[in-house]
A and B are shown apart, each in its own frame.
Chain A
């Protein structure tokens, strides 16, 4: 139990639709990162938010966007869904401390695009 909660846990969308995934970070953690994990692969970094600003982005197109709120919770938005967007989306919270930079992951939101 990491204290990071994600919603919804499962959802099904069709191509072209838009989706919003939500993440509540562990208490006191001001940094939230989002990862995409396709079936059989390791998680891939999408982007990170620190104090409501994007702080690093992986190799994902602009239709993947995010927000972080003053309470440090976060949203991941994906527009114009494609079949390849089907994956487990993981949120991780952390403190930007280089000595103990653990990531605390939620259980993920599993998105299926039909």
Chain B
């Protein structure tokens, strides 16, 4: 898998936007960027994925730089329930479902 680098932790005030960065400088041209999160003691939950263009769904937005070497997950209005570990993943294009999760970013949303 393309190696990803994420900060170990971030804080965000409730109601504010949370911007979680991820570096994936070795990404290949046709490899997607996936984001998952894991709330304490639960299984990881899919958030969003993208290839080149920015993506938005009901949970979040994904901004991918033009050179595709980094991306940012945006939670537009963070709530206390968004406190979780967020994983940025670039699956190997030859073994698509083998995800390398790494250590992720622990997002702490504070009142």
Contact = CB atoms under 8 A, between A and B. Distances in A.
A103 B99 contact: yes
Interface string A6-43: 00000000000000000000000001010100000111
Contacts of A92: 43-44
B97 A105 contact: no
Contacts of A33: 97-99
Contacts of A48: 97-98
B9 interface: no
A102 to B, nearest CB: 4
Given A41-B103, A42-B102, A42-B104, A104 B46 contact: yes
**Contact-size category for B:** 20 to 34
A90 B43 contact: yes
Max chain A Cβ within 10 angstroms of own Cβ: one of B87, B95, B96, B104: B96
Interface string B97-110: 11111111000000
Interface string A54-68: 001010000000000
Contacts of B87: 42
Interface string B32-61: 101010000011111001000000000000
B91 to A, nearest CB: 7
Contacts of B36: 103
B43 A106 contact: yes
A82 interface: no
Given A101-B91, A103-B46, A105-B44, A43 B97 contact: no
A107 to B, nearest CB: 5
Nearest to A100: B49
Interface of A: 2, 4, 31, 33, 35, 41-45, 48, 56, 58, 90, 92, 94, 96, 98, 101-108
Given A42-B102, A103-B97, 10 more contacts: A33-B99, A43-B44, A58-B98, A101-B49, A101-B96, A101-B97, A103-B36, A104-B46, A105-B43, A107-B43
Interface of B: 32, 34, 36, 42-46, 49, 85, 87, 91, 93, 95-104
